[in-house]
Structure formats: C-alpha cells, structure tokens
Structure 1
Amino acid sequence: MSAPPVPGAAAPLVVFDFDHTLYDGDSGSHLFAWLIRRNPLRLLAALLLTPLLGPLVALLPTRRHGISGYVWIATFGLKGAREFNRVIDAYVLAHQDDVRARLLPHALEVFAGHRRAGDRVVVATGAPPELARAILAFVAHEDVPVVGSLIGPRLGGVGAVRHCHNEEKMRMLRELGYGDIAIAYSDSTADLPLLKAARAPVVVNPKARRVDYFRQVLPPGTPILNWGCADRAGDPLP
C-alpha cells in the first residue's frame, strides 16, 4: 500500500474522536480495568470506592473526578508517564486480537479516505495518547498526530495533568494549531465544542437517548450515522 500524500498547510483539517468513533468501546476504561483486575489489592480498592466513584463517573460535570479516582487505583505504584507508556504498549501487545477486533472497519476506511485525499487528519481523544497511537499502529496510522490527555505522577500513581475532554479538548487543539476545523467526527455530547467548531460536524455511533439533542443543537442536516457499534444509534450503513 502506498503512503498517503503529505498534506499541505492549507489542506482541510479533519478531527476524529477515538472511542466509539474509530474504536468500538472506551479504550481507556479497557486498559484501566485490566490494570485493576490483575492486582487483587487494586481490585479490592476499586470495589470499596465504587459507591463513591461510580456516581461521579455517571454525571458529565463530575466525570473527570470519578475517572481520575479509578485511574489512580489502576496505576498506583507506577513511576511516571514513561513507565505508564510501557505498560500501555504491553497491554496492547497482549490484547492485540481483541484490540484489532474493536477497530471499526468503516470508520477506518473513512479515516484512510481523508488521508488519501491529502487532508490533515488528527485524532483528539480523552484517552492517553500513547494508547491511541499503539492501537492505530495496527492499521498503519501510527504517524497521525494524536492529541490526548496528558499524564503525570500523582500521589504514588499517575493521573491526567490535563484532561483532553469537552472545552479543554478544543483548547488543546487550538494551542497546537488545529483550530480551523473543516470536519469533525465524534459520538459524544462531551465533544459538542469540537463538533460546533467544525464547518461540517458528523455524529457517529451516538447513544440513542442523545440523538434528538444532537439534532437540536447542531446545524440542520448534520449526519448522524452508525459505523458499526451494535449498541449505539445512528443511521445504519447502506
């Protein structure tokens, strides 16, 4: 397969969310659940703290705090981002069959189509960027820029120094020069700042209860599609 053309500075900018957009599921949750399950003490701590952390995760305004609690439990004992990235690479290698199966074929074809067209393609995700990079490497897209949550040491574990989520995702994109967005693809209402910033937003694999809301707040005619997530809504593929 020939390499895609190198996009010019004036090429259209296309931004993809990762989880539930290119990947069927929440890649970060899968990683952290694996880290917790492989250690009995971490598993016990997660079970004991779930009555507190679970409700925080369920609500958008407090989701970051709840997720941070589980991340801390999962990574306690790791010494900084470098060791954490090595753990990510080991996780992806050990679960490569499952990870490959979760990459959505139609989403990858749309993704590759933009690259073949010479568009500037960027992935913006709330997951650790090394995780998205390691997964995309399976399908020869490891050279695509990934903007994700920045990780650093925290109270004996690691945590998000900066969470690439909601308005913060747009701030991080703009700081890196990715502000003039032609097309954005995402499943989540948390990405409304990204979708609204794009000249052509595309909703993919949304939760069924969010479809009407997307239709209210995004421009008329915004596509709402399903790219292969069986438990999600959106117009099915032809």
Structure 2
Amino acid sequence: MRVYDFDETIYDGDSTAHFFFFLLRRHPGLVRFLPEGGLAFLRYKFGSWTKTQFKERLYRLFQGVEDIEAEVAAFWAAHRTGIKDFYLAQQAADDLVISASPRFLLAPICADLGIHHLLASEVDPQTGFYRGLNCWGDEKVRRYLEAGYRLENMTDFYSDSFSDVPLAVRAKRAWLVTGMDIQPWPGHPMEA
C-alpha cells in the first residue's frame, strides 16, 4: 500500500488555504472572521495555543457559508488541475491519503480520483470545530493504526514535510516531494 500526504504532495499547494481564499473571494462578507483568525494565529505562533486551537478558530469562517458542500464542489471544479501528474501516473486502487486538511474538503476530490482510503482531520463543516485532534505528526500514525491499517503493509510513503517523519520512518520506502521533484527521504534505509 502506498500512503500519501495530500497538500504539497499530490496536490500542488495547500488545499485548505486555497479553499479559505476561494471562499473569501466568493463571499467577501466573510472578512468579518479575519480579525479573530489573525489573533488565533499570533497565539499559535507564540506558543500559547496548539495548532488545532488555531485552526479551529480560523475555521469559524465556515459558519458564514450557507452551503459549504456546494462551495467544496465549486472549489474542486476549479482546482482539480492541482493534482500532480506524478500521482495520476502511478495511482493504485489501494492508495491511502492521510492529511491534516479537513475530511469534508478532501473526501469529494478523493472520491473523484478513485481514492477509497482517506484519513484526515475531522472538522465539522458547519461550525469549524474539530472532532479529535489535527491529523498531523504523530497523530497520523495513531489514526493509521486506529483505522486498522498495518504498518508493515505500507510499502511507500510520500510527503513534502518533515512533520511526517513519524510515518516516513515506518514505511519500507519513503519519498520527499518538493514541487514536482521526488527524492528518497533523507536518511531513510530504503528496502527493496
């Protein structure tokens, strides 16, 4: 089984940030949520809030969107071209995507691509509140195991971020994705 991070790995950019700005362009009144999001960002950067707390406050913007599912569909209609060619060329039926981005945002594009295995942050699309922790770092390993997947079945892991070391070190082979460049994960003892 090949396991992929999503943002900056198989998608060219940060899908959550792209979706956030997509919403702001389509619904300018959502700017009313920005001061609170900016303050949350500062609290996160200075260490008084966790990443989950920061994102949850930022995601309150979703409360100002009447039909979030329609907005997600419109977003992917405009951004599907962001899926990287390397992924489309090697895609397999048992691929798994694991991401810190919200599940409600990634589920439609994964379904469209034929990706049947998705683990992501559980965020309520109506309120922006998390159900559990941000799916990031060690939490990705916990979610992977909790979902019943076996580490020994992870043949390859792809990510753009060293925050994914906890999964990368457990894969038989790990790949660092930088833009369109894919290199062996630094220091990983690649198995044949």
TM class, shorter-length: 0.7 to 0.9
Matched residue of 1:23: which SS? coil
Structure with max Cα Rg = 1
TM-score, length-normalised on structure 2?
0.78
1:157 aligns with 2:157: no
Give unmatched runs, 5+ long, in structure 2: none
1:87 aligns with 2:87: no
Structure 1 position 57, deviation (Å): 5.8
CA distance in 2, matches of 1:55, 1:220: 38
Change (3 A) 1:38 1:100: closer
CA distance in 1, matches of 2:81, 2:39: 33
Structure 1 position 99, deviation (Å): 1.4
CA distance in 1, matches of 2:75, 2:23: 13
What whole-Å deviation, never above 9, does each CA across 1:41-79 have from its counterpart, x for those lacking one? Answer: 431330x2354233456589843332222112x12257x
Structure 1 position 39, deviation (Å): 4.0
Change (3 A) 1:54 1:151: closer
From 143, 147, 162, give the equivalent of 1:172. 143
CA distance in 2, matches of 1:109, 1:56: 41
Matched residue count? 183
Q: Percent identity?
A: 27
Matches within 5 A, 1:198-213: 198-205=171-178
Matched residue of 1:160: which SS? coil
Change (3 A) 1:204 1:57: farther
1:75 aligns with 2:56: no
Change (3 A) 1:59 1:25: farther
CA distance in 1, matches of 2:63, 2:77: 27
TM-score, length-normalised on structure 1?
0.65
Instruction: Report what 2:6 is aligned to.
Output: 18
Structure 1 position 195, deviation (Å): 0.8
Give unmatched runs, 5+ long, in structure 1: 1-12, 223-238
Matched residue of 1:24: which SS? coil
